[in-house]
């Protein structure tokens, strides 16, 4: 990732789900623009390796392992960021995962686990960080990874769709409530992005060419493209933008989204991006 921009000098950024995929690319983007970044994830070994790789390149990155749905882990991450950097200027609340299963077969256990990570985790981190930003008195930016699935329903993904729609309404509410404190809130809504969770489908599944035809741009997105959107929304260039969703999907939702039936989305393997 190459950039000559240095928009985040002396800024502190906390990124959840930062060990791989979109979160990793986002942490790297902020760090390369001069930011001091804490990455949080629930896979300690992967998280440590990611942070070590960043530090080997001279980037100012520290790590904190934990579960986004555990209030104690969230408090520990926020405290670590404050101890290391003195403040928090930007939160990128990104961690999440998906179950692909018919609505009539969703178990209560699966529903509760997905909502805990995808929605409760967003609540806990944004509340704790917003409190810190308010106490700093200089504003801040709360950013969320939602999805096009929060804007348009897709079969087999009821719990995921609901969680992403909830994130969008949480973000919009925070934009209203926190504006007096000069805290902005926005979300990105990616379509299919080439991450470790989707790479095999994109590269090897015979259904991919048909799926790709629903994307006017003709390809999956790259994590770096989502990271660039986060960096813009966190920058001073976006100072008058709050309460908005930025769709990053190559035009797929404009094209009517993913069709059901034979052009239905791939059966994704259950995996966490926390």
Provide the b/e sequence for 232-257 (b: ≥16 CB within 10 Å).
bbbbeebeeebbbbbbbbbebbeeeb
β-bridge mates for residue 187, sequence order = 144, 245
Give the separation between CA 245 and CA 167, rounded to whole angstroms.
11
SS3 144: strand
CA distances from 145 to 16, 96, 261 (A): 10, 8, 27
User: What stretch of H or E contains 193?
Assistant: none
Q: Is 160 a catalytic residue?
A: yes
- Could you tell me the two tokens for 261? 């039936």
Give the separation between CA 268 and CA 20, rounded to whole angstroms.
17
Chain centroid to CA 199:
18
In residues, how long is the chain?
A: 274
Q: Which residues contact 202 (CB under 8 A, 6 or more apart)?
A: 192, 194, 208, 220
Give the separation between CA 272 and CA 192, rounded to whole angstroms.
16
* Active-site choice (99, 160, 211, 240): 160
β-bridge mates for residue 141, sequence order = 90, 184
- Could you tell me the two tokens for 34? 């001069």
User: Judging by DSSP bridges, how do beta strands 183-190 and 245-248 pair with one another?
Assistant: parallel
Would you name the residues annotated as active-site residues? 160
């Amino acid at each position: 990732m190459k950039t000559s921009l240095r928009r985040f000098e002396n800024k502190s950024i906390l990124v959840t789900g930062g060990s791989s995929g979109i979160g990793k690319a986002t942490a790297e983007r902020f760090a390369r623009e001069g930011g001091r970044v804490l990455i949080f994830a629930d896979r300690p070994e992967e998280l440590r390796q990611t942070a070590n790789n960043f530090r080997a390149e001279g980037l100012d990155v520290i790590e904190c392992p934990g579960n986004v749905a555990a209030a104690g882990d969230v408090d520990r991450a926020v405290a670590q960021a404050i101890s290391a950097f003195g403040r928090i200027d930007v939160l990128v609340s990104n961690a999440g995962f998906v179950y692909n299963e018919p609505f009539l077969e969703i178990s209560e256990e699966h529903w509760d686990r997905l909502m805990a990570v995808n929605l409760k985790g967003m609540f806990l981190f944004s509340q704790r960080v917003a409190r810190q930003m308010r106490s700093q008195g200089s504003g801040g930016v709360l950013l969320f990874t939602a999805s096009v699935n929060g804007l348009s329903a897709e079969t087999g993904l009821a719990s995921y769709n609901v969680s992403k729609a909830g994130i969008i309404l949480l973000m919009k509410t925070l934009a209203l409530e926190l504006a007096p404190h000069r805290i902005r809130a926005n979300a990105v809504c990616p379509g299919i992005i080439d991450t470790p969770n989707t790479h095999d489908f994109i590269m090897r599944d015979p259904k991919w060419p048909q799926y790709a035809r629903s994307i006017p741009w003709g390809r999956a997105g790259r994590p770096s493209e989502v990271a660039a959107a986060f960096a813009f929304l966190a920058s001073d260039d976006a100072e008058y933008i709050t309460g908005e969703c930025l769709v990053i999907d190559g035009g797929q939702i404009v094209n009517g989204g993913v069709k059901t039936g034979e052009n239905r989305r791939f059966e994704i393997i259950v995996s966490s991006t926390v």
